[in-house]
Structure 1
Amino acid sequence: MDWITLAAQLFPGGHTIVEQDNFLTGTAQVDGVTVSIIGSSGHAPIGVEIALMQAQTILTTLRNFPQRPIVILVDTQGQRLRHRDEMLGINSYMAHLGKCIALARSSGYKIIGLVYDQALSGGFITSGLMADACYALPGATIRVMGLPAMARITKVPLERLTELAKSNPVFAPGPVNYLQMGGIEAIWDGDLAVQLAQALQDANPVDRRSAAGLQRGGRSQALPVAQAVRANDSPA
């Protein structure tokens, strides 16, 4: 789904979203409440420019519009792989964006992410996955690392990873597997405006993904390990 069609369905009360070089920004009405919009389109690779503009929009909202909710619309092929961006320190720009979202959450701003087309690697980790909760449309493509790349990094044969992906969501892409792992809260179908309004009402800064992954059977060890680490770090 293209962002124009998406915006019409998400925001029947109206919006001012504009696109410039695959960067989306503007405001919209959700159940009578004004929300700030940031995002990307056209499977955009997230380079230093988009990362900085998204961070700037977050900080402007914090500075000028106290407690205004923020919606992140995600369509990205991931971090831009160019020598120029690497030399400029793209990792620092991405980290800055993630920190700005974390600051907004810790300051009481409700933040919802929605993967409406494609969400890959660093472009997803520092945007939609940083929100209070992230959702996806049924046809979305989601993965942090493709199986061929995973095979190169881990030295596990691609055939073995492909076999594992059939039964283990950790190895498999797609919104259904990320739902099972707790990475996304739900897959939206039907009235998107109603579901967005409900998501904003339910937004909670407490990270519940590990608990959701355990409950849904997609991640059996993330929560117990995190709890064990916290217990060991507690003062005697």
Structure 2
Amino acid sequence: MNWHTLASQLFPGGHDIVEQDNFLSGTGTVDGRPVAVIGTTDHTPIGIEIALAQARAVLQTVRAFPRRPILILVDTQGQRLRHRDEMLGINSYMAHLGKCIDLARREGHAVIGLVYDQALSGGFITSGLIADACYALPDATIRVMGLPAMARITKVPEATLVELAKSNPVFAPGPVNYWRMGGIQEIWKDELAQALSAALANVDASDRRRELGLARGGRKFAQPVAEAVRRQHAGPA
């Protein structure tokens, strides 16, 4: 789905979202309230320019519109892999974006992520995954690392990873697998305006991804291990 169609379905009451060099920004209306919108389109990689543009938009919202909800529209092939960006410290720019989104959350802004097309690696981690809750459309493509690349890095045969992906969502791409792991709150299949309204009305700032992953059978050990560590540090009652 292209961003024009998406915006029309999310904001039937109107919006002023514009695109400049694959960066989306503007405002939409949900239940009579304005919602700040930032994001990317056309599978654009996140380089220093877009990372700064998104961070600037978040900070402007925090300064000018206290507690206004923020919707992050995600469509990216991940971090831009260029020598220039690496030499300029792209990791620091992306960390800055993540910190700005965290600041917005701490200042009382509900932050919702929506993967409407493609979400890969660091471009997804510092946007949709750092929101209060992240949602996805059914046809979205989500993965942190492709299986061929994972095979090269881990030295595990790709055929083995393909077989593991059939039963283990940690190895498998796609919104359903990320839903099973708790990374995706819900998959929006229709009535996008109603889904967004409900998401904004039920924002929970606490991180429940481990809990959801355990309940959905996608991450069986993250929550028990975290609880064991917590008890260990708490000491005897």
TM bracket, shorter-chain basis: over 0.9
**Amino acid paired to 1:140:** A
222-231 or 6-15, larger mean C-alpha shift: 222-231
Q: Distance in 1 between matches of 2:224 and 2:56?
A: 37
Structure 2 spans left out of the alignment, 5+ residues = none
Counterparts of 1:191-230 in structure 2, within 5 Å, are: 191-230=191-230
Taking the aligned partners of 2:234 and 2:52, their CA distance within structure 1 comes to: 37
Amino acid at match of 1:57: A
Q: Secondary structure at the match of 2:94?
A: helix
Cα offset for 1:204?
1.0
Partner of 2:168: 168
Partner of 2:127: 127
- Give 2:23's aligned residue: 23
* Offset at residue 152 of structure 1 (A): 1.0
- Helix, strand or coil at the partner of 2:45: strand
- Give 1:115's aligned residue: 115
SS at match of 1:26: strand
Return the letter of the residue paired with 2:196.
L
3-state SS, counterpart of residue 53 of structure 1 = helix
- Maintained 8 Å contact 1:118/1:142: yes
TM-aligned CA deviation for residue 235 of structure 1: 6.2
Equivalent residues in 2 for 1:141-160, closer than 5 Å:
141-160=141-160
**CA distance in 1: counterparts of 2:234 and 2:135, whole angstroms:** 33
1:96 aligned partner: 96
- Determine helix, strand or coil for the equivalent of 1:46: coil
The 1-side partners of 2:123 and 2:194 are apart by 27
The residue identity in structure 2 corresponding to 1:20 is: Q
* CA distance in structure 2 between the aligned counterparts of 1:90 and 1:81, rounded to whole angstroms: 9
CA distance in 2, matches of 1:40, 1:86: 20
Q: Which runs of 4+ in 1 moved over 6 A?
A: none
SS in structure 1 at match of 2:97: helix
Partner of 1:54: 54
CA distance in 1, matches of 2:232, 2:88: 39
Within 2, Cα distance between the matches of 1:79 and 1:40?
A: 12
Identity of aligned residues (%): 71
Amino acid at match of 1:156: V
CA–CA distance in structure 1, aligned partners of residues 232 and 96 of structure 2: 30
Gaps of at least 5 residues in structure 1 are: none
Please tell me the root mean square deviation across aligned C-alpha atoms, in Å: 0.9
* 1:185 and 2:185 are equivalent in the alignment: yes
SS in 2 for 1:94: helix
CA deviation profile, 1:153-194 (whole Å, cap 9, x unmatched): 111110100000000000000001000000100110110000
Distance 1:59 1:12 in 2: 26
Query: Which amino acid in the other structure matches residue 84 of structure 2?
Result: R
Q: Please state whether the residue corresponding to 1:223 is helix, strand or coil.
A: helix
The answer on whether the counterparts of 1:106 and 1:205 sit within 8 Å (CA) in structure 2 is no
Matched, 1:14 2:14: yes
Q: Which amino acid aligns with 2:170?
A: V
What is the identity, as a one-letter code, of the residue corresponding to 1:160? T
TM-score normalised over the length of structure 1 = 0.98
